[in-house]
Every structure is written in C-alpha cells, then in structure tokens.
Amino acid sequence: MLSLKQGSRLVSLARKSISYFLATGKHLVEKPDEKVFSESQGVFVSLHSFPENSLRGCVGFPLPVMPLWQACIKASISAAFEDNRFAPLQSSELDSTIIEVSVLSKPMTFVCSKEKLSEKVLPGKHGLIVSQGFNSGLFLPQVCVEQGWQPLQFLENCCLKAGLPLSSWKTKECKVEYFTAQIFKEEEPKGKVVELVRKNSP
C-alpha cells in the first residue's frame, strides 16, 4: 500500500511528465528514490477537465510490466497525447486539468460460478477486465460509481467495451478478472492531492 505522500508524488510526477513533454516533445527521464517506486505495478493515469470534471484522457498498464515510476511517466504521456478518443492535450489546457493516478493490484479471478459473478462484484472496490480471444476491455473501480451502475451493468458495459455482446461474461470462453486500486487525485489543478475512498468499499 502506498501512503498519501507517495501517491501525491506520483500525481506530481504525472503532471511534471506532461509538462516536460509539452515543452520538449520528449519523455521525462528520472529515477525514483524510493524502493516502492522501483517495483513493477500496474497504473493508470486519468485526466479530467476543471471545473467540469469531464474525462480528457485515460491510459495505463493493467499488468505490472515495468517499475511503477517509469510506468507512471509513460501512462501520463499516453493519457495526454495518445488516447485516440480525444485530441492531444494542448499547453493552454494543462492548468485547467485535474490529474488522477490509479495504482493497481494484480488481476485476480473470481472464485465462483459465472452465474454468481454479479453477486461478487463490489462497486467502487473492484475494477474489471473482460477478455475473449483478441478482444478485451477494462474499467477502473471508480467508473462503476461514477456511472451509477449496478454490478450487472458494470459487467455488461465492460463486455461492450471489449467489443463483445452484453452477456458474454456468462460464457466459459470469456475471462473475467478483477483488481483493486489506490486512487490519488488532485482536488483542483496543481492543488491538494487526496486518496479517493469509496464508502461502500470494505
């Protein structure tokens, strides 16, 4: 588990990485000074417009494929400039953009029958990964709460994101995994960083 101070450092790193790329067109090269940041861990960086709080970009690594510090740098750049749902972030937008960093646990498989999956999903605590063949979709834990979905809707919409039929999660060919996340977010651009804790999270 990361402390709030460590989470705040990742958020600052994300902002610094984006600012550096805007100024130079290059990725920030910086080594971490704490062991926890050198350990491989999944991470996503989300950008939101302020004060509307509309999504402006969200990209990351669901699996622990590289050290957390480097993964945060790369995810920050990708969220700002490579999310194909949005135009690349402009310099004029950065000061009105809130940065959110989600540090992920390793994906796990639900220990239950497919029919019971909707009873096991905990909104606000579980993120989902649905995959079948070359298709896959992922939602961070906060998405279910932000969208006001029930667990069944969360499963169905994750299937849709993967390009699969709504009920694919029920089939044996479809793999459904869950993960948890520590979520650190600025209250306002360059402002205080808080860790988001859902009331319905155990």
For 109-167, write each residue's pLDDT tens digit: 999 999 899 999 999 999 999 999 999 999 999 999 999 999 999 999 999 999 999 99
Are 65 and 17 members of one domain?
yes
Q: Which pLDDT value is given to residue 136?
A: 96
Sheet holding 193-196: strands in order across?
55-61, 42-49, 97-104, 181-186, 193-196
* 199 vs 157, more confident: 157
The range of the structural domain enclosing residue 151 comes to 108-179
Count of the separate structural domains present in the chain: 2
Tokens representing 108 are: 């796990």
**Does a structural domain hold residue 202?**
no
Residues 83-87, mean pLDDT to the nearest whole number: 96
Q: Which pLDDT value is given to residue 202?
A: 34
Which of these, 3, 9, 22, 38, lies nearest to 186 by C-alpha position?
9
Are 94 and 128 members of one domain?
no
Are 96 and 13 members of one domain?
yes
Are 27 and 100 members of one domain?
yes
Are 35 and 127 members of one domain?
no
Are 28 and 96 members of one domain?
yes
d(CA 114, CA 135): 19
